[in-house]
A = this chain, B = another copy of it.
Amino acid sequence: MRDRHNMPGHRLVIVGGGFAGLACAESLKDSGAKITLIDRRNHHLFQPLLYQAATSTLPLSDIAWPLRQVFRTRRDVTTLLGEVAGVDAVARCVRLTDGATIAYDTLVLATGAQHAYFGNDEWAAHAHGLKTLEDATRIRAHILTAFEAAERAEDPAERQRLMTFVVVGGGPTGVEMAAAIAELARRVMQTEFRNVDTRDARVISLEAGPRILGAFPESLGRYAKRALERQGVEVRLGSAVTDCGPGHVTARGRMIRAKTAIWAAGVQASDAARWIGAASDRVGRVQLAADLTVPGCSEIFVIGDTATVTSVSGAPVPGTAPAAKQMGRHAALVIASRLQGGSAPAPFRYRHQGNFATIGRRAAIVDLGWIHLSGPLASWTWGICHIWFLIGTRSRIVVALNWLWSHLFGHKCARCWFPRGTEPGGGADKNLDCFKKSDRGSFDIRLG
């Protein structure tokens, strides 16, 4: 280990504590850099399992870890809660929304992506995206409240509208969400309601392209479609959404009356490109040099979902957690070699480690390139890999236990929600606004 006290402290600022930012900071242990990690949330989120929090299988606390706790023994890392408003690349400082500025010698932007509505931002109010813990909480409350309202609805058409769930997008997140909602309705809550049969719930998966899970080999995609359908999900291919409104989604000229729509169709990179005035692609990702720096700006690295780079292997780098981690580690390698005065490492090479998707409890697909798996074996592989990548032994034990319980007894452990929108300290609790008769004479679920 190098003696940190003899080094002029190189100020490295990392913005974003997702997979990319975390991997970068972790790989720079003992590098001598004085690292400041800025995030607008206090936690790292394990996004691959976020759909399970949104559908009541896992509590939020099992898929998120405080960044401070992750770096508690790293005296070289300072964690700051703050939101970046911009970057002054000339003065070399990051400006936060509260006016504070943080100077850097090297800057790493790992600010990720969010869901996007193809230019129809007004759809956001009607089709919930899933990127954050609050998104998951909101979707969970929305789904469960829809069933509660259906239990009390008297009009059969209204009841059906309340129990119809549209998932837009047939990628892994969309497929996993659709299967999880179907499971909730058919295998978890089916004995709990007295006026409705939750197995009558319709879950509709809309995919604009000719097949779901386009990133997987065609045979696995066909298997996944059959598995989805077997679990009661209606899969509609070639169905690009043309309108989203309150209580309905229109695709291919047909309007579906559904209280709940979930958006898993598009992403938009963060504002990083705008902050640094860099060239970006059509979804806003910064176009990078092969060492993951911004062309003409060698002290700024951009990694993860907010970056686009061509790997020397020629393969496109996908917007996945493994790719983000690889970029984080590569940026750390370049930074460490600069700090040590070594020669520049070889350009970034993305190594594809495999694609996973799960479809409900017993079906999954795994594409490792050299082998394709589907069925229970894939399901186990998926589960073991995901537990492996969680942070900490406690989380691993608790997630495994919750999955076991869900598998054996069909119980979901995280099905409590509370009406949102309460005022801090408002002791009166007059907040059950989820059932308001709307002007149209039907129940209108409000999430407060």
Contact = CB atoms under 8 A, between A and B. Distances in A.
Interface of A: 40-43, 59-62, 64-66, 68-69, 71-73, 75, 78-83, 96-100, 114-117, 121, 123-129, 131-134, 137-138, 142, 144-145, 148, 151-152, 189, 191-195, 263, 268, 392, 394-395, 397-398, 401-402, 405, 411, 413-420, 422-430, 432, 434-437, 443, 447
Contacts of A117: 427
Nearest to A194: B78
Contact of A128 (B42, B144, B420, B425): B425
A71 to B, nearest CB: 8
A418 B151 contact: no
A66 B133 contact: no
A420 to B, nearest CB: 7
B416 A60 contact: yes
Total copies of this chain within the assembly: 2
Contact of A148 (B42, B397, B413): B42
A415 B69 contact: yes
Contact of A73 (B114, B132, B191): B191
A129 B428 CA distance: 11
Nearest to A115: B427
B192 A436 contact: no
Given A69-B415, A79-B192, A415-B66, A98 B42 contact: no
A68 B425 CA distance: 28
The 9 closest A-B pairs by CB, nearest first: A43-B416, A68-B192, A59-B61, A124-B425, A83-B432, A64-B416, A81-B148, A40-B432, A61-B414
Contacts of A430: 83
